[in-house]
Structure 1
């Protein structure tokens, strides 16, 4: 018995020592394998950290930020009177309303002229007379307007914020492929008087136009002195685009030109393609022509891409006319122009049917 007991005790101790050694060995093995794995995977870990860090840097707010109305500094707290070109009407409706919402400190009040219809000319005249803080124009300033401003102790600056196309519309029944710029000018100068002279039917042409000295849109070069241009005796003068559209819809041989935004989407008239040559006619509308029976469910959309890239042959620039007098008028005019030149302003101008300048 004593010998048996003495043999059992060492046997149990040996098992315990064996198990302890086995456990320690496994632990050491795990540590060694873990170390090897860490060493092998270390390059991937560093790459992953660098990738995450780079991604974080790329999304950092310090990256270029799209400018908007809120980003414009030095917008004064002011009640502002402004006015001018009828071509600007879509901008006043769409863009100016957004400015009022985002920058309520600048209160914009559109003013009609006391005498006559609103236009670039009337707006600039009201600015010169101190009735407006800035004007909206769809033509550049004239030498006489610059001179009058200097006589009154200040200067005028024109700040371009967009580009508009000049579109020609005719009666929907008229079948003619389009016109070149030269043909269009000859029609208004009285040198072409029948549609058969330009590939159309044997039908007298009835051109409609505003008086050149008051018009927001012209089809002649701005380098020409408009006062020296004598329109043909068959030109019928009208006072507004609304009146012109009404007459074009009734007179089969009539035509009229105006801001593309004002006339291209209309249901009662048909816009004509224009070109520098008869083989390169560009439509003022996108895609295929929408006919009157499809309108107003569908409307012709402005070909802003052709206007912006210069392939459309007759365009006019849109200007904010700013009074440089070191006073509030200059401050609000510059602030308004800066708002329109932000990314937000330019996108809104394009949604209004014009081409931006940025």
Structure 2
């Protein structure tokens, strides 16, 4: 066959192949529910970590339909932010998959958290870990030095909410103002358009877990907390202090803050002209709570319009053993339709 007659045939074959590939991609997006834009977090680990975020597998509908769930008792642990998810998911998961038994384990010393859970995972104390922040390059390297690889699988989206005393009247804060407050550069609300009142910033210690670590990275830019910042051991105690401190301010996972009756979540913005509330609609007054409660503004977390968002990850140890299968199975259970519904019920934003 001559070169002239070969050219149209090759062109036709290329067009047919491209059409089939494009049609297949459209079918996956529309029918299977894969949303490529939803599987990457703006605060994920650097591109030098090839396994930083993994492609979401096609999800089952019910827990009972998830395949390759191993049998046995598996220890897991990590982020305290995950507590509402554990409360919603684990009882139903154990009923649906009774041979896949789970045991939450606290660290022997120090508070539980994302960092503690990842360290326990690398020491073979856990089958898999729950993290409210992406893995760091240092953690990838430490795992490799121990002869293993780590993989993180995103299963939910969360936001950090900032709350103040309900009597404090301010429209919101920019990220820059939040930085100035927690580094001690601004110490009076009058400097930010509020009353002449000392600011009392509250936080858990930097060692408390992923929430504080993420705040330190994104807001403080690794600078230390200011000398006027008061450390509290738990979010429960922080919210109690906040309710009693007229000039208080505190940050935590949005589901832990938004629906509370004794404090006031505030809008946060990249600039003063784009303040975004972590709750839906108008603020519910304290005297109408708990009959009514503020509801999480899941849409602005999912689109990234709210400036303080993050992904929640299942961290899996890639060692070819049962632990890896357990971690993969747990992630797949959470990525099922039933798992994503329970994640939403726990106050977080589903990834699919």
Query: Residue in 2 aligned with 1:125?
Result: 119
Deviation string 1:117-171 (CA, Å, 9 cap, x unpaired) is: 2211111121122211111110111222222212221111111111101000111
1:134–1:322 Cα contact (<8 Å) kept = yes
Q: Secondary structure at the match of 1:112?
A: coil
Q: Secondary structure at the match of 2:333?
A: helix
1:225–1:186 distance in 2 versus 1, CA, 3 Å: closer
Q: Which moved more, 1:207-216 or 1:123-132?
A: 207-216
1:274–1:281 Cα contact (<8 Å) kept = yes
Q: In structure 2, what is the Cα distance between the partners aligned to 1:322 and 1:104?
A: 21
Q: In structure 2, what is the Cα distance between the partners aligned to 1:216 and 1:171?
A: 24
**1:236 maps to which of 226, 230, 238:** 230
**1:140 maps to which of 123, 127, 134:** 134
Is the counterpart of residue 106 in structure 1 residue 100 in structure 2?
A: yes
Q: Secondary structure at the match of 2:210?
A: coil
Q: In structure 1, what is the Cα distance between the partners aligned to 2:81 and 2:123?
A: 22
Q: In structure 2, what is the Cα distance between the partners aligned to 1:291 and 1:222?
A: 33
Deviation string 1:309-352 (CA, Å, 9 cap, x unpaired) is: 11111011100011111111111000000111112211221121
Is the counterpart of residue 247 in structure 1 residue 241 in structure 2?
A: yes
Is the counterpart of residue 172 in structure 1 residue 166 in structure 2?
A: yes
**1:315 maps to which of 309, 317, 328:** 309
Q: In structure 2, what is the Cα distance between the partners aligned to 1:297 and 1:260?
A: 20
Aligned length: 295
Q: Which moved more, 1:314-323 or 1:141-150?
A: 141-150
1:85–1:216 Cα contact (<8 Å) kept = yes
Q: In structure 1, what is the Cα distance between the partners aligned to 2:217 and 2:298?
A: 22
Query: Residue in 1 aligned with 2:42?
Result: none
1:322–1:66 distance in 2 versus 1, CA, 3 Å: closer
Deviation string 1:217-268 (CA, Å, 9 cap, x unpaired) is: 1464757996x42221111112111111111111110100010011111111
Offset, 1:199: 1.1
Offset, 1:215: 3.3
1:179–1:273 Cα contact (<8 Å) kept = yes
Is the counterpart of residue 197 in structure 1 residue 191 in structure 2?
A: yes
Q: Which runs of 5+ in 2 are unaligned?
A: 1-30, 33-58
Q: In structure 2, what is the Cα distance between the partners aligned to 1:225 and 1:329?
A: 36
1:181–1:274 Cα contact (<8 Å) kept = yes
Offset, 1:213: 4.1
Is the counterpart of residue 269 in structure 1 residue 263 in structure 2?
A: yes
Q: Which aligned runs of 4 or more in structure 1 are off by greater than 6 angstroms?
A: 63-66, 223-226
Q: Which runs of 5+ in 1 are unaligned?
A: 1-62
2:179–2:219 Cα contact (<8 Å) kept = no
Matches within 5 A, 1:47-196: 67-196=61-190
Query: Residue in 1 aligned with 2:38?
Result: none
Is the counterpart of residue 288 in structure 1 residue 293 in structure 2?
A: no
Q: Secondary structure at the match of 1:174?
A: coil
Q: Which moved more, 1:176-185 or 1:64-73?
A: 64-73
Query: Residue in 2 aligned with 1:355?
Result: 349
TM-score normalized by the length of structure 2: 0.79
1:163–1:355 Cα contact (<8 Å) kept = yes
Q: In structure 1, what is the Cα distance between the partners aligned to 2:120 and 2:287?
A: 42
2:182–2:220 Cα contact (<8 Å) kept = no
Q: In structure 2, what is the Cα distance between the partners aligned to 1:349 and 1:256?
A: 24
TM-score normalized by the length of structure 1: 0.78
1:168–1:272 Cα contact (<8 Å) kept = yes
Is the counterpart of residue 212 in structure 1 residue 206 in structure 2?
A: yes
